[in-house]
A and B are shown apart, each in its own frame.
Chain A
Amino acid sequence: MIVNLIEFLKARSKLVRHGGYGIVAAIVIWSLIVIDRHHVHSWLEKIPGFWSLFTIVSALVLVFVAKAWAKTGIETDEDYYDR
């Protein structure tokens, strides 16, 4: 059943992708409308869609930092300690 569902979705990957974008857009728009921004903890959170922007920047920063840190020579072959 699970396998069939995945095969079904894989056969329509473009639709799934656009559906995904639709869900993301719906969540962001919904949160713009419903949130009461008067009682938030900091002024930053009063920016409309703050947590969306924050997340996109966060995720990219984490990946960038991980890659930069790896490039300093920290990343090495898996058999490093066996040699």
Chain B
Amino acid sequence: MTGNFGFLHPSLILLVGAALLPFIRDPFRKPYLLLVPILTFLDVIFLNANPGTYGVVSFMGDWTLTFGRVDSLSSVFAFIMALMAIIGTLYGLHVDDHWQHVAAWFYVAGSLGVIYSGDYLVLFLFWEMMAFASTFLIWFNTDKDSLAAGYRYLLVHMFGGVLLLLGFILRYQTTGDFSFVPLDEHHSTLATWLIMAGLMLNAAVPPFHSWLPDAYSKATITGAVFMCAFTTKTAVYTLARAFAGFDVLIYLGVFMAILGIIYALKENDVRRLLGWEIISQVGYMVAGVGIGTALAINGTAAHAFAHILYKGLLFMAAGSIIKATGSSKFTDLGGLYKKMPMTMLFLLVGAVSVSGFPLFSGFVSKSMIISAGFEEHLPLVGFALMLVSAGTFLVAGLRLPNLIFFGEFKGKQEVYDKAAEPPWNMTMAMAAASILCFAFGTFYPMLYAMLPNAGIEYNPYSTYHMAETLQVLACTALVFAFIKNRIGAKANTMLDLDWLYRRGGRGFLWLASKPIQAIDTAWGEVYRVVGLVPLMIVSRFWAWFDWHGIDGVVDGIARGVRGLGQRVSSGLQRGQIQYSLFFTITFATLALLAFVWF
């Protein structure tokens, strides 16, 4: 990218590609849909081969924006994101609605923009682009709950964005620096923790995790495939960049790894189960960031890489099942192996990968983080993550396929009769992801060569690690054989912290309508009896004064203000809260920037 070649940001390819998409007609549309992410991927490979800092522009005088920081950490994340964009687009190739592809590409562009950004301003720009674009992936779903779920998702992410914004603005005030670099745990300030909270929200770290199963289970079939890959893993990248070695992340990571499994054990919705599984797996990565050694950061990057492939694969298989049966509830599924054997095969590849079977991708990545924990003399962390390994196999490797593909079909007979394998493009995408899961697990030096810290020796296929893993897998299967009916399908759900904003709001409404209204009524009565008579006398005087003195002056002003107000509101308030939110956030951002500027 030096000399005669200009810097071409991969996000730009996606954004321009998305802008042109509505004008592309058949028969060029499908080739074009594949061409854009492939070009993006090639651009990423080209950039990664030429590390350095590109796209540095000066902005409003004294700020510099860095759009292209290409180093060993950003390279591996950008590589897998761009690769997943190809797989995801292939999976959604049959979707005719342009706007779904446009939203997905904007979302990926946001992710790549965050990964290559070198300062908080660029990071924030792309961060918000991700949040907005992915909200549309939920809104495009026609389920009745999707609109509300999209709003919840957007509001939660706006909250996270504001935390991040506050954090880096505060940091700028004290240091005069916007650069996105590692922060110091020993000199942490309020700004440090606000930035961390903002990034943590996107990584679904408790207590900011409830949005994930809620949103991912309501997105479109193809939208969920994109969402499961990009938001949390981009956030893991930012945490690894800024917060490596922060001890608090170790404990939060271990906690979320366990929490995810506990909820997934009881879940009745396929995609909610997978969502909880993401929280659990991202827990490993967050703990890896917290451990912060070279091996742990390598493990985090490797696990994010492997996770995007196998979780994408699991969401693709789940999407195929929802497309075939119209339901995502275990209480409506079962016995589908006869109808969808290929989908079952792909789901099983994803399941054994996430469970860390030898030869598959989870095996070579997860164990790096666990080893790093033991090597840093954190045996409890190591043991807790091993416990989660057993839980992962129990939930995703055994409970999930068992409830979908075996036993009796629990839905309607005509649904079962009609169930069939998905279209060719979905099958191809799942096959590609399956092959990659196997390839990176078996030929693991390919993956290790991309990791950020070079020269770290690690051999996942040592005898001890093989014996350890095989014992964990064998004994988990043994336990499952005896208790599988105890973790079967029940038409229930588990409450979580999203209760606070889904039901807490109703509590506030009740408070407003019942007790506060009652107090108001009582107070009104007292007021009428005690205060009204003297008030009437006083008010008669003021009415006279008002009529004769003030009105003349005020009326003129009032007319002016009303006219202006009407003009503003007809432009800004279109009755759709999406627009209002957009304008509010834009103005808030501008006001904050103006505050810093002056």
Whether B494 and A70, one on each chain, are in contact in the complex, defined by CB atoms closer than 8 angstroms, is yes
The reply to whether B493 and A51 form a contact with Cβ atoms under 8 Å apart is no
CA of A81 to CA of B503, assembled, Å:
8
Nearest A-chain residue to B464, judged by Cβ: A35
Distance (whole angstroms) from the CB of B479 to the closest CB of chain A: 4
B398 to chain A, nearest CB (A): 10
B265 proximity list for chain A (CB < 8 A):
62-63, 66
B468 contacts A by Cβ under 8 Å? yes
Which residue of chain B has the shortest Cβ distance to A26 in the bound complex? B474
Among A40, A58, A82, which residue has its beta carbon within 8 angstroms of that of B386? Answer: A58
Q: Chain B residues near A62 (CB, 8 Å)?
A: 258, 261-262, 265, 387, 390-391, 394
Shortest Cβ distance from residue B295 to the other chain A in the assembled complex, whole angstroms? 13
Cβ of B467 within 8 Å of any chain A Cβ, yes or no, is: yes
Residue interface bits B350-389, CB-to-A below 8 A is 1, else 0:
0000000000000000000000001100010011001100
Nearest residue (CB) in A for B380 is A42
User: Taking the nearest CB of chain B, how far is it from the CB of A52, in angstroms?
Assistant: 5
Q: Is the CB of B391 within 8 A of A78?
A: no
B475 at the interface (CB under 8 A from A): yes
Asked if B45 is at the interface of the complex by the 8 Å CB criterion, the answer is no
Q: Which residues of B contact A31 (CB under 8 A)?
A: 467-468, 470-471
B402 at the binding interface (Cβ < 8 Å): no
A47 contacts the other chain (Cβ, under 8 Å)? Answer: no
> In terms of DSSP, what is the predominant structure of the interface of chain A?
helix
A75 touches B481 (CB 8 A): no
Known: A35-B463, A36-B463, A59-B391. A54 touches B386 (CB 8 A): yes
Chain B's nearest CB lies how many Å from the CB of A76? Answer: 6
Asked if residues A34 and B477 are in contact (CB atoms below 8 Å), the reply is no
Smallest CB–CB gap between B351 and chain A, Å? 15
Knowing A20-B477, A31-B471 touch, does A55 contact B390 (C-beta < 8 A)?
yes
Measured in the bound complex, the distance between the Cα atoms of B70 and A82 in whole Å is 47
State which of A21, A34, A73 has its C-beta within 8 Å of the C-beta of B463.
Answer: A34
Known: A66-B265, A76-B493, A77-B493. A41 touches B464 (CB 8 A): no
| B390 shortest CB reach to chain A, Å | 4
Tell me, in angstroms, the Cα distance from A66 to B267 when the chains sit together: 10
Task: Flag whether B476 is at the interface (Cβ < 8 A).
Answer: yes
A63 — which chain B residues lie within 8 A by C-beta?
265, 394, 483, 486-487
Nearest-neighbor residue (CB-CB) of B468 within chain A: A51
Contact A40 B483 (CB under 8 A): no
Q: Shortest beta-carbon distance, B558 to chain A, in Å? A: 45
State which of A23, A42, A75, A82 has its C-beta within 8 Å of the C-beta of B494.
A75
Residue A3, interface by CB 8 Å: yes
Provide the main secondary structure of the chain B interface.
Answer: helix
Count of interface residues, chain B, beta-carbon cutoff 8 Å = 51
Q: A residues within 8 A CB of B386?
A: 51, 54, 58
A78–B463 Cα distance when bound, in Å, is 46
Least CB distance, A2 to chain B, in whole angstroms? 4
Are A80's CB and B495's CB within 8 A? Answer: yes
The residue of chain B having its C-beta at the shortest distance from the C-beta of A82 within the complex is B145
How far does the alpha carbon of A76 sit from the alpha carbon of B338 in the complex, in Å? 33
Question: When A31-B467, A36-B463 are in contact, do A60 and B479 touch as well, CB less than 8 Å?
Answer: yes
A31-B471, A66-B262 as given contacts; A76 in contact with B464, CB under 8 Å: no
Chain B residue numbers with a CB within 8 Å of A54 are 383, 386-387, 472
Q: Which of A36, A78, A82 contacts B464 (CB 8 A)?
A: A36
CB-CB nearest in chain A for B331:
A78
Quick check: A58 and B471 within 8 Å, CB to CB? no
Decide if B345 is an interface residue (CB 8 Å cutoff): yes
Produce 1/0 per residue, A65-77, CB < 8 A to B.
1110110011111
CB distance from A26 to the nearest CB of B (A): 9
**A2 and B337 within 8 A (CB):** yes
> Which A residues are in CB contact (< 8 Å) with B261?
62, 66
List, in ascending order, chain B residues with CB within 8 A of A81's CB.
Answer: 502-503
Contact: B472 with A51, CB < 8 Å? yes
Partner of A80, one of B258, B329, B382, B493: B493
B479 contacts A52, C-beta separation under 8 Å: no
Chain B 464-504 interface mask (CB, 8 Å, partner A; 1/0): 10011011101111111101001100011111100000110
25 A-B contacts (beta carbon < 8 Å): A1-B341, A2-B344, A20-B478, A30-B467, A31-B470, A31-B471, A39-B464, A41-B374, A44-B379, A51-B468, A51-B475, A52-B471, A55-B390, A56-B479, A58-B386, A59-B394, A60-B479, A61-B387, A62-B261, A66-B262, A67-B486, A73-B495, A74-B495, A75-B492, A81-B502
Which B residues are closer than 8 A to A by beta carbons? 145, 258, 261-263, 265-266, 268, 329, 337-338, 341-342, 344-345, 374-375, 379, 382-383, 386-387, 390-391, 394, 463-464, 467-468, 470-472, 474-481, 483, 486-487, 491-496, 502-503
> Which are the 10 A-B pairs with shortest beta-carbon distances?
A31-B467, A2-B341, A55-B475, A41-B374, A51-B471, A66-B265, A59-B479, A58-B387, A24-B474, A27-B474
